Amino acid sequence: HAKKNGRNNYQFYMESLNRAATERFSMERDLNKALENEEFVLFYQPQVDLASRRIVGAEALIRWIHPLKGMIAPDTFIPIAEESGQIIDINRWVLQAACNQKRDWLHAGLKAIRVAVNLSGYKLSSQNIIGTIKEALGKDSADYQNLELEITENVLMQETRETLSTLKQIKALKLRIALDDFGTGYSSLSYLTSFPVDVIKIDRSFVMGCITEPKNLIIIKAIIAMGHSMDKRIVAEGIETEEQFSLMKALDCDEGQGYFFKHPVPAADFAEFLAKEKL
Ligand code: C2E
Ligand code: MG
Ligand code: MG
Ligand code: MG
């Protein structure tokens, strides 16, 4: 029976491999049409100042409304787009859409807030990000300070010299740079001194267990102490409970994001939420 089972396992393995490859291929093909068919949409999640509990920013989070499959989460298609290079066009679309939204909110009389955009993808330096930013923000130089770019360590790990030069150009434009998912990589600390980073976003895996896991608490305290000593703003990701909110506030964390405050929502819902905020 061993031989038969071995063959079955092999067949099963090949079939699932095939299925995965086919799915990947069809997603890549569909992604090509997604931009021209305007199937992408940005959701927004508030970033809250923990001391005052006021909304100070919004993180733009992309969703893909697939004509047949419905809403697809970014973790499903962003990695594929990164590998295929389609991420370059997606990054450009996201930057443009977020900047337009920011402008619309201002014109609608809502209070000025920061908007944070996720920039992923290898070879940041070869994406003409600077040109895209200038195009998206236009002439209004005051706007530049309210645009924040979130990058992760894996962006910094690739083409380090070119990436550093790109980040310096971004800083010269007065944008802010946030290091997303902080603490999950393996050389986080050295990145903080080597790259011009303004904001540290503590990964939600630490925040989630901050009450029950003493180890997480130790790491969070260390990140906040170190970040503050380097004059960086600290944002806690994934605050889901009142307890976590109180603890992060007590630890002098500057800002927070999470389901406790609000889930990511479409732009219109976000505007309503922002307008209702007590002044
Ligand atoms: P991220 O930038 O770390 O975004 C935070 C993720 O955590 C979002 O998932 C958000 O919906 C989720 N989240 C927020 N609060 C909570 C909470 O209290 N509990 C839990 N469990 N989750 C929470 P989302 O929107 O599915 O995005 C996943 C990732 O996809 C993002 O992680 C980011 O890396 C990437 N991404 C999202 N939008 C874009 C985009 O426009 N461009 C690029 N390149 N990547 C994007
Ligand atoms: Mg992010
Ligand atoms: Mg994150
Ligand atoms: Mg993430």
Ligand with an atom nearest the CA of residue 183:
3
pLDDT at residue number 68:
94
Q: Whole-model pTM?
A: 0.93
Contacts of 129 (CB under 8 A, 6+ apart): 91, 119, 166, 170
Mean of all residue pLDDT scores within the chain: 91
The residue whose CA is least distant from atom 25 of ligand 1 is 61
Checking if the pLDDT of 77 tops 90, the result is yes
79: Cβ below 6 Å to ligand 1? no
150 CA distance to ligand 2 middle (Å): 6
Mean of pLDDT values over 253-257: 98
First to last CA, the chain: 73
pLDDT-based confidence at 14, cuts 50/70/90?
Answer: confident
Rounded to an integer, what distance in angstroms lies between the CA atom of residue 226 and that of residue 216? Answer: 15
> Counting runs of H as helices and runs of E as strands, what totals does the chain give?
11, 10
Write out pLDDT tens, residues 204-243: 999 998 888 889 999 999 999 999 999 999 999 999 999 9
Task: Please count the other Cβ atoms lying within 10 Å of the Cβ belonging to residue 259.
Answer: 12
74: Cβ below 6 Å to ligand 1? yes
**Residue 64, class by beta-carbon neighbours within 10 Å (0-12 exposed, 13-18 middle, 19+ buried)?**
buried
264: Cβ below 6 Å to ligand 1? yes
Closest CA to 201 of 231, 174, 230, 232: 232
Write out pLDDT tens, residues 132-154: 999 888 877 667 889 999 999 88
pLDDT at residue number 187:
67
pLDDT-based confidence at 5, cuts 50/70/90?
Answer: low
Report the sign of the C-alpha dihedral through residues 77, 78, 80, 85, in that order.
Answer: positive
pLDDT at residue number 258:
98
Judging by DSSP bridges, how do beta strands 176-182 and 147-151 pair with one another?
parallel
Rounded to an integer, what distance in angstroms lies between the CA atom of residue 40 and that of residue 121? Answer: 18
Mean of pLDDT values over 190-215: 91
Rounded to an integer, what distance in angstroms lies between the CA atom of residue 134 and that of residue 144? Answer: 9
pLDDT at residue number 184:
86
Backbone angles phi, psi at 157, to 5 degrees: -75, -20
